[in-house]
Amino acid sequence: MTEGIQLTALDGANPLAFLAALGSLRLLDLRFPERGIRLHWSRDPVWRPCLTDTGLAASGLPSTLRGAASAPSGAFGALGKNLTVDRATFENFVRSALGAASPKDRRAADFAAAFGSESLGDAKKNRIYYTDLCFISGSGHQDFLATVAGLGRKVTEEHIRAALFGPWKRDKGLSMRWDPADAAQYALQWSDPSGEGASAVWGANFLAIEALPLFPAQPTSRGLKTTGFRQPLRRDEPEFRWPLWTAPLTCGAVRSLLTLGEMHKPVPDHESLLARGVAGIYGARRARFGQGANFKVSFRPASAL
């Protein structure tokens, strides 16, 4: 194992930072599948991710990640700006993604599995049920797929460098709303900030999008369920839970780890999880702010479980 690259600006207690770390791992795994690149977390004093066996210097990481971007935005064009599409439209998108898939390139298919399912839908609204990680769907002129495409066009190596190594700086627009700071900005200001528009750490959002294929959505007898989410009570907003592990794991091992049932018990089985190398678990609830059609969805601040 070669010396690792610590991503010093990513805090494991922040869901956006966690997703950005996983997106970085997935991109590197796609770019260099033969290297067995791994990711783990160390605490000093907060949890920071570390990439090992990359074969790269820290200075070369941003350009490699920018060049490896896998979100095939052109393939999403059939869905329009958002995931609020009817079942027939999404089924055609899935068929196209599967038809284009190959052993070496299944990017569109992986994103299709993360976006939702044509098997379940809301008949009243004539649309599919989609991933719990979709926080924007047109309200306040914020669009999920349009934001993905915008980040793909505008994010530079410097945006990625700042996301990984700091300092974090928010630019106007292009927020996937996965940073709890989005909720704090809305809830704690004297006036309604909706007219000011969204802002975001572009590089972190860009990388976090690349983690979506690690969180597929599956039809179940209780509706569509997104990997990583639990819903304690029927009327509660779903809670996103994620593990922090200390042993270096490949992307495939991380994908498996994210599905562990022990993490989603009301009281996680820490002894069992520690035996698997999971030293910490965090959870963050989705929250909806605002009234009527101009509502916002964000994560509440995370808590250790």
Check pLDDT > 90 for residue 160: yes
Residue 2 pLDDT grade (very low, low, confident, very high; cuts 50, 70, 90): low
In a domain, 222, yes or no: no
Indicate if 58 and 101 belong to the same structural domain: no
Are residues 247 and 265 both part of a single domain?
Answer: yes
| pLDDT value of position 235 | 67
- The pLDDT of residue 56 is 95
Residue 181 shares a structural domain with residue 92 = no
Q: Is residue 220 part of a domain?
A: no
Residues 109-114: contacts with CB under 8 Å, at least 24 apart = 110/213, 110/216, 111/71, 111/72, 111/75, 111/76, 111/212, 111/213, 113/213, 113/216, 113/217, 114/212, 114/213, 114/214, 114/215, 114/216, 114/217
Q: Which pLDDT does position 293 carry in this prediction?
A: 63
Which has the minimum average pLDDT: 100-109, 136-145, 160-169, 180-189? 180-189
User: Both 110 and 245 in a single domain?
Assistant: no
| β-bridge mates for residue 299, sequence order | 286
Residue ending a domain, choose from 118, 135, 152: 135
- If asked whether residues 42 and 156 sit together in one domain, one would say yes
Overall number of domains in the chain: 2
Does the structure show a pLDDT above 70 at 195?
A: no
51 and 113 housed in the same domain: no
Whether residues 84 and 171 share a domain: the answer is: no
Residues 181 and 88 in one domain: no
87 shares a domain with 61: no
Bigger pLDDT: 90 vs 140: 90
**What is the residue range of 124's domain?**
73-135
Last residue of a domain, one of 135, 161, 186: 135
- How far apart, in whole angstroms, are the C-alpha atoms of residue 30 and residue 68? 8
**Tokens (6 digits) for 113:** 């599995």
Which contiguous run of DSSP H or E holds residue 219? Answer: strand 217-220
Tokens of 61: 């990481």
Query: What average pLDDT score do residues 163-186 get?
Result: 89
Please indicate, yes or no, whether residues 33 and 63 belong to a single structural domain of this protein: yes
Please identify which residue in the block is written with the tokens 């299944």.
106
Backbone dihedral angles phi then psi of residue 283, each to the nearest 5 degrees: -140, 145
Q: What is the pLDDT of residues 20-38, one digit of tens each?
A: 999 999 999 999 999 999 9
Q: Is residue 217 part of a domain?
A: no
**What percent of the chain has a predicted confidence (pLDDT) above 70?**
92
| Both tokens assigned to 102 | 């190959």
In a domain, 166, yes or no: yes
- pLDDT score for 196: 56
Residues 48 and 115 grouped into a single domain: no
Domain contains 204: yes
Residues 41 and 125 in one domain: no
Q: What is the pLDDT of residues 72-102, one digit of tens each?
A: 767 788 899 999 999 999 999 999 888 877 7
Helix boundaries (H) for 126-247 = 144-154, 157-165, 180-187, 202-209
Give the pLDDT band of residue 197 (cuts 50, 70, 90): low
Q: Which of 119, 135, 151 is the last residue of a domain?
A: 135
